[in-house]
Every structure is written in structure tokens, then in C-alpha cells.
Amino acid sequence: MRTIEWDAKGAVRMIDQRRLPLEFVVVELQDYREVAQAIQQMVIRGAPAIGAAAAFGLALAALRSQAATREELIRDLETAADVIRATRPTAVNLFWAVDRMLRKARSWPQPETSQIVAELINEAQRIADEDIQINRAIGAHGATLIEDGCNILTHCNAGALATVDYGTALAVIRTAHEQGKRVHVWVDETRPRLQGARLTAWELMREGIPMTLIADNAAGYLMRSGQVDIVLVGSDRTAANGDVANKIGTYSLAVLAKENGVPFYAVVPTSTIDLSLPSGDQIPIEERDGHEVTHCGDCQIAPQGVKVFNPAFDVTPHRYVTGIITENGIAYPPFQQSLRRMVHG
């Protein structure tokens, strides 16, 4: 199941994740501005998937450009890049993919715009294909931590829908399940957008992986009563010291896990590790519309006019993180050294 793909007709197709689990709808986007809007409105979400969307968005910008020269094409791409960068500030994969596409355009040795456009489409496709390979490798490394009969707790959606295919945290679970290990997953509902209830539950049920949906505030009870063996979460940006930015509520889970002696792992591709940031204090935290909190779908659940604070992410300090699972292995403290090895080899 590919979350996003390039259509041979020169369009980008992606699953509209706002419609799940009640409807499975694939939308077709013709312009980079439509891709930017899809990222901002969470038609597509999840750091690796957003990275692929950004790359395909720039490929669309190149394809639709009327530029006659290389210089004009680069200017059009830079304009599109600014629009895409402005959509969501926390997920570093978005910026990583945009920068990779611009580097490809600037360094391509042939001046013909048609050749640059074709190579940018190819580069976006490479980013998408690499993501699947990376996720498979993440799953293989992470599955070594999963024992037969393991009870796993996860937050938000770090599955196939958050990537191009297969997932990050769910890649670990999928791989363990494919290896024949008996696993059970506790799925946080993940307020306010309910990515756990809507997306993670949908993915796991489709694949027949045993799971149980819980309210977010039930996680502490389960840990204290010994019903959680490991916590696996994704990350939208991980700082050089191992601080992890992930969906709001992750920090609370990490503190609960530490208190109850439950291992807590972030599961990330190395493209999500931002070595330029010394700590999570420098990670920009997106704030979203209060409507997400005051409404559940179309149902209003709070008084009209109530004041709302709606950060989309929080930062878990590295002291609560047992390890960070990547495609190149598992990083353990001290993260300043181990994460650098994971990124640079």
C-alpha cells in the first residue's frame, strides 16, 4: 500500500488520510500548490510521507514550469520550495527532501530544462523508493527487541500511512509479526486528531495483527499493571542529543514508561535526525487550529468561544529514551556519538 506515488500522466496520487477509516479515497494533485495544501491540511502526514510529498511537489513544479532556461527553472523551483517549506515546521524530512531536490537541480550537468525536469521526477521517485527500503531495514533492526508474546504500546500513527509504505514504529511490529512472533499492540487514540484510533487501528486490523484501542489516559494504568513490555513511537525530528519531537502526548508516555521501568524507543529513519540542532529546545513546534480540540469530526464538544492551545508535538528529553531505532542499527546513549554514527556510518 503506497501512501503516495507519481502517476505516469504527470500527477501525484495520495491517500486522503482525513477520510480514513470510514472511506478509502485517493486524490490526484496536479500542481505543487495543491501538494503544499495537502501537507498543511494533513491529507498526507507523517514525517517520511511528508518528505516524499515535498519531493513530488517540486517535481510537479518542474514539470509545470514554463521556464526557457536553467536559471529560470531554478527560480521557479525556489519559489515552490518556499511555499512547501512553509506548510509544517516540525517535520525535518520536509526540509531534507526539498534541499535534496534543489541540490539535484543545481548540480545537474546538462543545461536543457527538459533533462533537469526528467531528472527531478526520477529523484523524487528515488526518495520514495528509498523510504520503503529504509523502513524494511528499520523493521529488521527493531524486531530484534520484540520477544514472543510481547505487549507493545504505540502512539499516533507511525505506520505505512506515515511513510511511503511499511512504516517506522509499525515496521518493527510488522516485521516481528511476519517472523511468527505473537505480538499484541495497545493503540493510543491520540487526541486531538485521533491518528491512533483512525489510522493505526485501521492498518493493524487490515493485517490481522492483534491490537486493542485505548484512551490516551489509560496508558499509565496499563504500564503500572504490567501490561506493557515496550513503547514504540515515531519522531518528526530528533535532535543531536537524542531529544525526540513527536506527536503531542509522547513526552507523557516516556515519563510514565521511565517511572514503570518500561523500555521506550523512538523509531526513525536517519533523515529525521537533525544533527544541526544540539537539543530539542531548538525544534520548532507547530501549533494548529483550535477547532481540532473543540470538535471531534463535525461534533462540537467544547463551549463556543473557548480559548484553545493546540501544539501538534512535544519534545521528549533524551534521558527518557532507551534507544533510537534507525535503518543503520539501534542508537543508545550517549546519543551525541551514537546518532552521528547512525547518520554518517
| N-term to C-term CA, the chain | 30
In DSSP terms, which residues pair with 214 in a beta bridge? 188
Q: Give the orientation angle of helix 113-143 with respect to helix 47-64, to 10 degrees.
A: 170
Q: Which pTM does this prediction carry?
A: 0.93
Please tell me the predicted confidence (pLDDT) of residue 201: 98
In 3D, which of 48, 46, 60, 52 has the Cα closest to residue 17?
A: 46
Catalytic residues: 236
User: Could you give the dihedral angle defined by the CA atoms of residues 85, 91, 95 and 100, in that order, rounded to the nearest 10 degrees?
Assistant: -140
Question: Could you give the count of Cα atoms lying within 13 Å of 248 in the half-sphere of its Cβ?
Answer: 15
Spatial separation of the C-alpha atoms in residues 237 and 243, rounded to whole Å: 9
Percentage of residues in the chain with pLDDT exceeding 70? 100
Backbone phi, psi, residue 108, to 5°: -65, 125
pLDDT at 251 over 90: yes
Please tell me the predicted confidence (pLDDT) of residue 121: 96
* Poorest-pLDDT segment among 43-47, 51-55, 106-110, 147-151: 106-110
In order of start, what are the domains of the chain with their CATH numbers? 4-136 (1.20.120.420), 144-344 (3.40.50.10470)
Mean pLDDT of all residues in 255-265: 98
Which pLDDT tens digit goes with each residue over 99-149? 999 999 998 887 789 999 999 999 999 999 999 999 999 999 999 999 999
Q: What DSSP state is assigned to residue 154?
A: E
In 3D, which of 206, 230, 207 has the Cα closest to residue 219?
A: 230
Q: What DSSP state is assigned to residue 163?
A: S
148: which 3 cell numbers?
514472543
Which pLDDT tens digit goes with each residue over 160-174? 999 999 999 999 999
pLDDT category at 90 given cuts 50, 70, 90 is confident
pLDDT at 203 over 90: yes
Classify residue 44 by burial, with Cβ atoms within 10 Å: 0-12, 13-18, 19+: buried
CB 280 within 8 A of CB 244: yes
Measuring CA to CA, how many Å separate 272 from each of 40, 84, 103, 131, 290?
A: 19, 17, 18, 12, 27
Backbone phi, psi, residue 81, to 5°: -60, -40
Hey, how many other C-beta atoms are within 10 angstroms of the C-beta on 212? 14
Please tell me the predicted confidence (pLDDT) of residue 334: 97
Spatial separation of the C-alpha atoms in residues 78 and 305, rounded to whole Å: 40
Whole-number average pLDDT of the chain: 96
61: which 3 cell numbers?
513544479
In DSSP terms, which residues pair with 7 in a beta bridge? 11
CB 159 within 8 A of CB 199: yes
pLDDT at 310 over 90: yes
pLDDT category at 253 given cuts 50, 70, 90 is very high
In 3D, which of 334, 203, 341, 343 has the Cα closest to residue 269?
A: 343
pLDDT at 4 over 80: yes
